[in-house]
Amino acid sequence: MKVDSAHRLILGIETSCDETSAALLRGEDQLLAHVILSQDVHRVYGGVVPELAAREHLRVMDRVLDEVLREAGLSLDAVDAVAVTAGPGLIGALLVGVTWGKALAFARGIPLVAVHHLEAHLFAPSLEDPEARPPFVALLVSGGHTLLLWVPEWGEYHLVGETRDDAAGEAFDKVARLMDLPYPGGPEIQRVAREGDPTRHPFPRPMLRGNAVPGDADYRDFSFSGLKTAVAQRVAELSEAGRLPEERPHVAAAFQEAVVDVLVAKTLRVVEETGCSRVLVGGGVSANRPLREAFRTALASRKGGRLFLGSPRISLDNGAMVARAGAFRLDRDGPSPLEVTADASMPFPGLLRPGHQRSGTGRVRRAARAEGNASSVPVPPL
């Protein structure tokens, strides 16, 4: 029997990187149970080891599923659909979740829906705040991605800025490694930086020229590899002088402040251009406390300013956001075929690159692309 969307129970599964997670979501916002297991095996390697991640997912997956059902006090019979992250991510890790989801859907005769990991991050804050819905400007900052989006409605994602090299989370992880801090680097840098003075080692703010104007090629893009190199040089000098232990907090604080400044400033440029002061920040780096504070301060003084941020638990990789995005995709596109498979570089559904714009009917059409010309935010202000 088909269940209406408001009562439908979706099992969300996430295994794209180093969290094994499952959640049970009733309708769009009733989170009945949520289990997240973070893998520790990678800590000593300074980064996620893909083969180990896949093996760990396989080892704990059935325990995680048992646990989420137990927490909700339900049996598998109650589950109406399975949503699983199919990409992007580590292929071996994704395959564990996707295969599990497919087997479950097939065996139970229930729909399967393949979810895009970044679309899931976009939906995450709405699990805790029903107001966290479009229109908004979105900054997605994770270990693998840094995207600025203009989102007039769910399913329509205008890409207005992205990183040209490292992702923000990757920069945190690499800089942590340079300073002999364990993986994941973001929380470690945040912790160490608490004791630091960010002015002692001034680092560049990449692509944040004060005289930049809309239309400049780098106006809304990010670059973190130069900043990482600047930190590497400073760390090398300090190590050489035997001063790294005492200077580590100051370097961490200065690096963190540089990243936060750039992320906030670029997002505010899109706020200016769209005239939309509703901002959503998602992905693992959005758990960063100074980043959250900086966004709060920046938006507090703006008329109509709203900030949508999930709690840290919902900002990092988790199954609940997968179930939530799955509910949307199930209603919009219907179930995925059982032949669907994991795709390490899965295209973002509904992502529109510069050169696309909305037609008068509200449908999205492709406009002539001006090659090499940095276009403006493609959608008129609200």
Q: Which residues of the shown chain bind ligand KG4 in the complex (CB under 6 A)?
A: 17, 142-144, 169, 172-173, 184-187, 190, 283-285, 287-288, 316-317
State the minimum distance, in angstroms, from the CB of residue 48 to Zn ion: 12
Our finding on whether 19 is near Zn ion (CB under 5 A) is no
Residue 309: CB minimum distance to ligand KG4, A:
12
Collapsing DSSP to helix, strand or coil, 318 comes out as coil
Closer residue to ligand KG4, CB minimum distance, 20 or 274: 20
Looking at beta carbons only, is 28 or 173 nearer to ligand KG4?
A: 173
* Residue 146 within binding range of Zn ion, rule CB under 5 A: no
Instruction: Check residue 163 for interaction with Zn ion (CB under 5 A).
Output: no
Closer to ligand KG4 at the Cβ: 174 or 329? 174
Length of the chain: 382
3 state SS of 137: strand
Q: How far is the CB of 354 from ligand KG4 (least distance, A)?
A: 24
Q: Are 128 and 311 in contact (CB under 8 A)?
A: yes
142 near Zn ion (CB under 5 A): yes
Q: For the CB of residue 208, give the shortest distance to ligand KG4 in the complex, in Å.
A: 19
User: How many angstroms separate the CA atoms of 113 and 105, rounded?
Assistant: 9
Choices 24-32, 134-142, 186-194, 319-327; region in contact with Zn ion by CB under 5 A:
134-142
Neighbouring residues of 270: CB distance < 8 A, sequence distance ≥ 6: 137, 148, 150, 160, 161, 220, 377
Q: Which does 56 bind (CB under 5 to 8 A by kind): Zn ion, ligand KG4, none?
A: none
Give the count of residues interacting with Zn ion (CB under 5 A): 2
**Shortest gap between Cβ of 195 and Zn ion (angstroms)?**
28
- Residue placing its CB nearer to ligand KG4 in the complex, 291 or 364: 291
Q: What is the separation of C-alpha 269 from the centre of its chain, rounded to a whole number of angstroms?
A: 20
Nearer to Zn ion, 128 or 218 (CB): 128
Dig out the tokens for 139 from the structure.
């900054």
Give the whole-angstrom CA distance, residue 353 versus residue 149: 10
- Rounded Cα gap, residues 27 and 174, in angstroms: 39
Q: Confirm or reject binding of residue 119 to Zn ion (CB under 5 A).
A: no
Q: Output the smallest distance, CB 18 to Zn ion, in A.
A: 10
CA distance 358 to 271: 19
> Rounded to whole angstroms, how far apart are CA atoms 371 and 98?
38
Of 80, 156, 188, 317, which lies in the binding site for Zn ion, with binding defined by CB under 5 A?
317
Assess 318 for contact with Zn ion (CB under 5 A).
Answer: no
Q: Which does 198 bind (CB under 5 to 8 A by kind): ligand KG4, Zn ion, none?
A: none
Q: Which residues of 4-37 are buried (b: 16+ CB within 10 A; e: fewer)?
A: eeeebbbbbbbbbbbbbbbbbbbebeebbbbbbb
Least separation in angstroms between residue 358's CB and Zn ion is 28
C-alpha torsion sign, points 322, 325, 328, 329: negative
Residue ranges that bind Zn ion, judged by CB under 5 A:
142, 317
